[in-house]
Amino acid sequence: MIFPIHARQNAPTPADILPIAAPLLIGSLFNWGFYGVLSMQVYMYHLAFPNDRWTAKALVYGIYLLDTAQTILVTLDVVDMYAKNFGDVSGLDGMHNEWLAVPVFSSIGECCTVQLYYAYRIRYLAETYNRLLMAVISALALLQSIAGIATGIQAAIIGTFMGLEARAHSVTIIWLGGSAACDVVIAVTMAYLLTHKDTHYPETRAIITRVVHLIVKTGVLTALSAILVLVLYVALPSRAYYACIGAILAKLYSNSLLVLFNTRMHIRGGRNGPSHVHTGPPVRASIRSASHAAAAVSLGAPGGATTMSSFGGVHVHEQVWVHTDGMEMKERSSSPVEKAVVFGLAS
């Protein structure tokens, strides 16, 4: 049975609803996509690094809970606009829960938290002017956070996207512009500090290069996203195109942080590392055969080990190479940059 749908006439119908309806729907779909990527990254972090400090775990799991709450709010808005109140065109311009999910959660829940974490890390990398750099980045992070909260409060009071564009123009520009400026400062500072640190060990240099690439790429991505939201907001005031990118802004910051955390993980047999990398404390691995023959090898220190075992008449020659960053750093060097890069990612 087909039920007739009658559009509600409690407000005038816009001439073109596509620029209003499409960005909100597409933004919610992208939000769910990035939430899936974030869930996988958190799961990989949970499996690979159970011995991280409680502060790092609290940061990761806290951000994930906030992103979960934001995804739920965005989904409730989509259900309300496209299912519960289907046919009510005026409801598409309503703010619903967007005032909380996008400006508030994005600015204070993810953007500010991640940016302050980078500022905290820069304090250890910078041998000089470390407090000044940390203060500048923290000030920019707090500025965009306060502006984002103010934007959310005004959006809740105004209640519509069109009204927000007309009455909350300045504070929204400060929020998005401050976020982009902070991301650029973080990317440039981290790249400069890491590339100008001298190290004589190829392993540490490889780690530094990989971290620099990640920081620059993720910093540019988040900065360009904030700038794109700002440009769409200013250049197309009568359209809701900016809402599409704004819905995933928090997810970009969260995924960027998890990418940095998980860069310490190596895949066995992967392209960018040894055949096996042990990331936890020293352990012992044993190889046992069905014919009661057993061979054990200690994996407590970096280096190679070779074992011979017999499995029902078949001789197995196994060579295990274990690379432990912690052992190498303690034995080779204790320079601030190596400690910050290897140990500081989750401290």
Task: Answer yes or no: is 338 within a domain.
Answer: no
Clarify whether residues 86 and 202 are in a common domain: yes
The tokens of 267 are what?
């895949």
Task: Answer yes or no: is 11 within a domain.
Answer: no
Clarify whether residues 86 and 191 are in a common domain: yes
Clarify whether residues 112 and 234 are in a common domain: yes
Q: What is the pLDDT of residue 271?
A: 63
Per-residue pLDDT of the chain (347 residues; tens, 9 = 90+): 444 444 444 455 555 788 888 999 999 999 999 999 999 999 999 999 999 999 999 999 999 999 999 999 999 999 998 988 887 877 788 888 999 999 999 888 778 999 999 888 888 777 667 788 889 999 999 999 999 999 999 999 998 888 888 787 889 999 999 999 999 999 888 888 877 776 677 777 777 778 888 888 888 899 999 999 999 988 987 788 998 999 999 999 999 999 989 988 877 766 655 444 444 444 443 334 333 433 333 333 344 444 444 444 444 444 444 444 333 333 333 344 444 444 455 55
Clarify whether residues 244 and 302 are in a common domain: no
Cβ 38 vs Cβ 255: under 8 Å: yes
CATH of the domain at 226: 1.20.1070
Please provide the distance, in angstroms rounded to a whole number, between the alpha carbons at the two ends of the chain: 60
Task: Answer yes or no: is 274 within a domain.
Answer: no
3-class SS at 49?
Answer: coil
Q: What is the pTM for the complete model shown? A: 0.74
Clarify whether residues 117 and 248 are in a common domain: yes
Q: What is the pLDDT of residue 292?
A: 40
Q: Which of 175, 191, 216, 189 is nearest to 132 (CA)?
A: 189
Task: Answer yes or no: is 192 within a domain.
Answer: yes
Q: What is the pLDDT of residue 58?
A: 95
- As for how many domains the chain has, the answer is 2
Clarify whether residues 148 and 109 are in a common domain: yes
Residue 129: partners with Cβ closer than 8 Å, 6 or more residues away: none
Specify the residue for token string 């407090």. Answer: 131
Q: What is the pLDDT of residue 345?
A: 52
Clarify whether residues 303 and 201 are in a common domain: no
Q: What is the pLDDT of residue 247?
A: 92
Clarify whether residues 113 and 207 are in a common domain: yes
Q: What is the pLDDT of residue 13?
A: 52
Task: Answer yes or no: is 52 within a domain.
Answer: yes
Task: Answer yes or no: is 344 within a domain.
Answer: no
Provide DSSP, 242-282. Answer: HHHHHTTHHHHHHHHHHHHHHTT---TT-SSS-S----SS-
Cβ 216 vs Cβ 259: under 8 Å: no
Q: How far is CA 116 from CA 69, 172, 237, in A?
A: 21, 21, 31
Clarify whether residues 302 and 225 are in a common domain: no
Task: Answer yes or no: is 339 within a domain.
Answer: no
Q: What is the pLDDT of residue 198?
A: 65
Q: Which domain does 37 fall in, by range?
A: 18-262
